[in-house]
Amino acid sequence: MADTKEAKPFDLNALTAHVDANKDAYIKLLGEAINIPSVSSSKEHRSQVIYMVKWMANLLRESGFSAELFELGDETFPDGSKTVLPPVILGHLGKDPNKKTLLIYGHLDVQPAHKEDGWATEPFEMVHKDGRLFGRGASDDKGPVLGWLHAIQAYQALHMELPVNIKCVFEGMEESGSKGLDELLIKQKEFLDDVDYVCISDNYWLGTTKPCVTYGLRGVCYFFIEVQCAAKDLHSGLYGGSVHEAMSDMVYLLNSLVSVDGRIAIPGIMDDVEPLFKNEKLVYSDIEFNIDEYRQMIGCKKLIHEDKVKTLMSRWRYPSLSIHGIEGAFHDPGQKTVIPRKVIGKFSIRIVPDQKPQHIAKQTVEFLDAQWKARNSPNTYKAYMVDGGNHWKAPLDNFNVKAAAKAIKNVYNVEPDFTREGGSIPITLLFQELTGKSVILLPMGAGDDGAHSQNEKIDVRNYIEGTKVFCSYLHEIAQEGK
């Protein structure tokens, strides 16, 4: 890159033209990333996750970054086996004390995927069809991570001075709880000391046509319920009718948690929910969101609320409880007449301001204890919170939000929606706490991308125009005080 004296002035038109001209190269590189099955939940794929992290570190170094790999030690699996955790990339580009410093976070691991799960194509072979790029990780989160790299490279290729210093944190365990990342960042806090802004692109537009800036996330509290009735699995023909079955107890307990209309049955669960501020419902009514399109995209007959405002508020600013599964129960196709000796029920509660994980854990376990006592079963029972992550919300009037909104307007020529999300990215809150600075979510992908689902994709439009937004944002975030 040319030095500061020779650098060309900022020119968004030139940057966007460069991005358009390199579209095919960007798509090809995303295909290479998708071809790496970096599934973090599987120890069989751990070497591929490590390869993916190193692959990205090399790309950063080729673009002038100092990209250091930090090892996190080993991970122990439930069967007692161990495997090494993938390293974390801490990278930086530029150390000009007269510039703001932007921190970018992203992840390089993906959810499991198999064609027999219902994919139309092989999940780890990118398919370009009808303006869409299909493949696991296309939108979550390899496309956005590469979009940042492409934006930086566009400045360099055109000999434009980067308007900010850039730091990045790229990990390979986000889809499996970001094991070891919190401890690393706390230990390496000096890496974050000079950060002025944080931007994360690991989320999605609300719909498929209008971009947004995201300023809030729900937290999540994950629970296990264990019930054991025998020392081994039993034949239902030989033992059915003579034992108190663990599965019956489990169904009773899980069914007691939430009503058919989504109301959480735990007493006091709503007491700490942040009250509505004056005219807050108007914020939701102004957001572009088609309730019929949303229902059709899900493929369900009826939503809990057939009203836009109530649906958005139920997704974003109120808690919800979801039942996820029962470990130990028979789940394969066909028939099996077994009474499982032990089952583990799994559910989670998405929490919102001003709920706290430890208080939610206390309320939830006390409720289940009371339900168990009323059940009067002789079986062994235990309920507990496995993991609890806090919610996050940023003020809408901060400069980071405004810069992102202006960048979107510069590229898409529309004012973005300001949205919250029902999902959780625990690292968001940690970055806010460690830096003391503004954090925002600037999504690249659309609401129908199918992250974590079959046939995940990113639209070519979102990939390319999103890269242009990143180009513009790098400029806009540098304008505070100018």
Active site residues: 109, 174
**CA 367 to centroid of chain Cα atoms:** 29
Q: Amino acid identity, residue 285?
A: S
3-state SS, residue 109: coil
Report the distance separating Cα 319 and Cα 310, nearest Å: 13
Smallest Cα–Cα separation from 349: which of 324, 385, 321? 321
Report the distance separating Cα 420 and Cα 423, nearest Å: 9
Q: Please list, residue by residue across 273-284, b when 16 or more beta carbons sit within 10 angstroms of its beta carbon and e when fewer do.
A: eeeeeeeeeebb
Is 451:140 a contact under the CB 8 Å cutoff? Answer: yes
Smallest Cα–Cα separation from 223: which of 344, 315, 320? 344
Give CA separation, 186 vs 203, 380, 431, 433, in Å: 24, 39, 10, 10
Burial-class residue 260 by CB neighbours within 10 Å (0-12, 13-18, 19+): exposed
Is 328:305 a contact under the CB 8 Å cutoff? Answer: no
Is 233:338 a contact under the CB 8 Å cutoff? Answer: yes
- Structure token digits, residue 466: 């999103």
Q: Amino acid identity, residue 361?
A: A
Alpha helices for 67-200 (secondary structure H)? 143-157, 181-187
Q: Across-strand partners of 389? A: 220
Helical packing angle, 143-157 and 12-21, nearest 10°: 120
3-state SS, residue 324: strand
Angle at the Cα of 451 from the Cα atoms of 447 and 453, rounded to 5 degrees: 115
